[in-house]
Amino acid sequence: MKMNWGLGIAIFYIAFVIATVGVVLFTTTIDVNLVTDDYYEKELAFQNQIDKVTRTKSLPEQPVISLAGKNMYLKFPNSINSNMVEGIINFYRPSNNSMDFAVPIDLNQHGEQIVNSARFTAGMWRIYVDWKIDGINYLSEKILMVQ
């Protein structure tokens, strides 16, 4: 069977339309996770976050965030009165925002807090300790890799 130009062009256009519809249908099934649901509102308040981080870095000693096993340890230096610290620890999982959670800061008499490993799955976690002492806000950040 001999094929003419008209039939070749028609087959090309039909294949193009099928491929385009296939790509559109495929992309609508992909779940797109933002870091947070209220991303744009947080973007407007980003300068406030930068000020908190700058204040924290100007302290002579910063809180230490570390990982031992799958438990996260938060340790405030002795120069900071741990009885006056209040705030929240936010745990962000960049790859899946449904795993994000927050824990209030509840330090023991040594200025330490341990967060249980039950919610940590293997992968990268961003830890934000948003804390306040004497009415001044601070923010400590750390990226942890859980094995």
Domain with 5 in it: 1-30
14 shares a domain with 72: no
What CATH number has the domain bearing residue 76?
2.60.40.10
78 shares a domain with 43: yes
Gap between the Cα atoms of 41 and 32, Å rounded: 18
* pTM for the full predicted model: 0.70
How many structural domains compose the chain? 2
Gap between the Cα atoms of 36 and 124, Å rounded: 16
53 shares a domain with 8: no
Q: Which of 37-41, 113-117, 142-146 has the lowest mean pLDDT?
A: 37-41
Cβ atoms of residues 115 and 72 within 8 Å: yes
Is it the case that residue 1 has pLDDT exceeding 70?
no
Q: Which of 32-41, 50-59, 68-77 has the lowest mean pLDDT?
A: 32-41
130 shares a domain with 109: yes
125 shares a domain with 62: yes
Better-predicted residue by pLDDT, 115 or 21: 21
Residue with tokens 């509840």: 106
Is it the case that residue 13 has pLDDT exceeding 70?
yes
Please, which residues bridge with residue 133 across strands? Answer: 136
15 shares a domain with 64: no
According to the model, what pLDDT value does residue 98 have? 84
17 shares a domain with 65: no
Cβ atoms of residues 93 and 84 within 8 Å: no
Mean pLDDT across the chain, nearest whole number? Answer: 88
CA distances from 55 to 59, 60, 104 (A): 7, 11, 21
Q: Taking the alpha carbons of 34, 40, 41, 47 in that order, is the dihedral positive or negative? A: positive
66 shares a domain with 15: no
54 shares a domain with 16: no
94 shares a domain with 24: no
According to the model, what pLDDT value does residue 94 have? 84
Cβ atoms of residues 45 and 109 within 8 Å: no
Where does the chain show beta strands of DSSP type E?
64-68, 71-75, 86-92, 101-104, 112-115, 123-133, 136-146
Mean pLDDT, rounded, for 6-33: 92
